[in-house]
Structure 1
């Protein structure tokens, strides 16, 4: 059974860095993001790890875990949003107290996605894959990103509908932020391996950054089979995945490993986000990868969806039941907050 936190008006946001912190020369970005959120009516609790970064992590794993555990148990903190992702969040998983976690949203993506997936698989509590805090520092939010508040305010038993973005960002321009941070210059086109322009998929959502979540296969933090049996009554799963840095052959190896580990058993479909990676190897393209996966699993594959490191992003809720539709290169995702 899936439990859903709920974002309330005037919520207190806990900011901690379970992966990478913010180096000193970028501290102004986090101050601005916190200020923007306060101007929108939120309270902010910013913890120590946010302000430090050394040797590819904000702090030693035991410190990061202790800070996250504290925020998850703190009754006055309603939602946790890390500043951004990073590289080594996986180090803290065996130091987290999953049994003591209070129902509250954790929102993020990239390296944070392995934390989100582990929490949902271990506890049955829904988690939110979407924007990070740094990208909320703009004067406003684009319409796709802005849906994070609506999605996280959805009540148990209700549903929420999101649409594919009109435009997406091809390249980051960190020194030239727009009013909503991103530079949305390219038309968004959702694609599919199917021969029809219409695709419909239904199932429970799970996913994240494939570079990261593949590393919990075979561990207590990646037990998809037990989750599927005990938490969602063997309902089908729709996977959403995004590739940050993998070549096509490494992506293929990762997907085969997932398949061999049973992650794609009872799968209703797979969605892949736009990616700055997917380097072709010896003529082997990412479209080849998608096509082979669709044929092997006999499920539809959608790609270039709004997910990952080429924003904006739809807010996907791990554990929610979703109805995903593609029609003539435009997509919609309706998520049902049902147990």
Structure 2
């Protein structure tokens, strides 16, 4: 069964960097995010790893794991939000104490999704794929991103509805900072391979496909065991987002996932918008999606609000979800069901 944490009012947020920390020249930007959270009534406790970054990581694997273990077990810290993702979170998995992880929300995306998915698969504790802390530094928050609080403050058994965004950000414009952080200029359209409206249901699992693929074949990526023993054989509804893989690498990854049994008893797959998905010799991402739908015989939905092209919804790993695409609009209802 799935265990759901609960975000309390005036909660204390622990900020640790299990992947990348914040370079000195970006400290002020990150401090803005901490200030905004305090203005919203949260307490914020930052670990030492947040403020350092060398050789593609915030600190050694030992230091990162020790700080995470300490924060997750600290009774005075209610939830954990890393500053952002990075590259080498995989280094710390073998050093984490999965037997002592209590039910606290962990929120983030990108490389953080390695931590999120492995915790849900190993422990049955729900985790939240959504905004990074640094993206909450604006004076305001767009409606899609802001839903993280509604989702994480829902109680066991509740359902939460999120709708697709009206517009998304095509590219960053750091020379003209927005009070919402993002520059939402392009019309959002959720698409399906079939070009028809789609309704899919299942237990949500997923993350940044570039990195969670490396859980395959390890003790931290046993989807079959999770499906059999934690969700009693219920079908899985996958969501993925591609950070920087070309289409051929994406296809190889999806084949590996299929061969590893990740798509056994799967009801559908959602793909987030991506600035990657680089075509190779005329092989486009739409070709990948069409082939995947044909091979698995399940609906493929793409360009959803998830990942590195903001804004993004908050998807709860382990929650039961019903996803509807109707004339380019998306509706996601999640039930926090054990």
Band of TM-score, shorter chain = over 0.9
SS, match of residue 306 in structure 2: coil
1:184 — aligned with what? 184
Post-superposition CA distance 1:123-180 (Å, at most 9, x none): 0000000000000000010000000000000100110000000000011223432001
Distance 1:125 1:265, change over 3 A: same
The residue number in structure 2 matching 1:172 is 172
Q: Counterpart of 1:132?
A: 132
**Secondary structure, counterpart of 1:227 in structure 2:** helix
Match of 1:319 in 2: 318
* 1:203-242 deviation per Cα after TM superposition (whole angstroms, max 9, x unaligned): 0000000000000100000000000000001100000000
Pair 1:19 & 2:23 matched? no
Q: Distance in 2 between matches of 1:92 and 1:176?
A: 37
Offset, 1:194: 1.7
Residues 250-285 of structure 1, C-alpha deviations (whole Å, 9 max, x = no match): 000000000000000000000000000001101100
Name the CA distance, whole Å, in 2 between partners of 1:183 and 1:216: 34
Counterpart for residue 306 of structure 1: 305
Cα distance in structure 1, aligned partners of 2:300 and 2:78: 35
| 1:1-339 aligned within 5 A | 1-196=1-196, 198-339=197-338
Structure 2: runs of 5 or more not aligned: none
RMSD (Å) for aligned C-alpha atoms = 0.6
- Secondary structure of the structure 2 residue equivalent to 1:246: coil
SS of the residue corresponding to residue 120 of structure 2 reads helix
- Kindly state the Cα deviation for residue 110 of structure 1 after the two structures are TM-superposed: 0.2
Measure the CA separation in 2 of the matches of 1:174 and 1:36. 19
Distance in 2, Cα, partners of 1:176 & 1:295: 44
Gaps in structure 1 of 5+ consecutive residues: none
Q: Quote how far apart the aligned CAs of 1:77 are.
A: 0.5
Question: Normalising by structure 1, what TM-score?
Answer: 0.99
Count of residues in Structure 1 that have an aligned counterpart in Structure 2: 338
1:85-123 deviation line (CA, Å, top 9, x unaligned): 000001000000011011100000000001000000000
Q: In the aligned structure 1, how far is the partner of 2:5 from the partner of 2:104?
A: 5
TM-score (normalizing by structure 2): 0.99
CA distance in 2, matches of 1:194, 1:93: 39
Deviates most, 174-183 or 146-155: 174-183
In 2, Cα distance between the equivalents of 1:250 and 1:192? 21
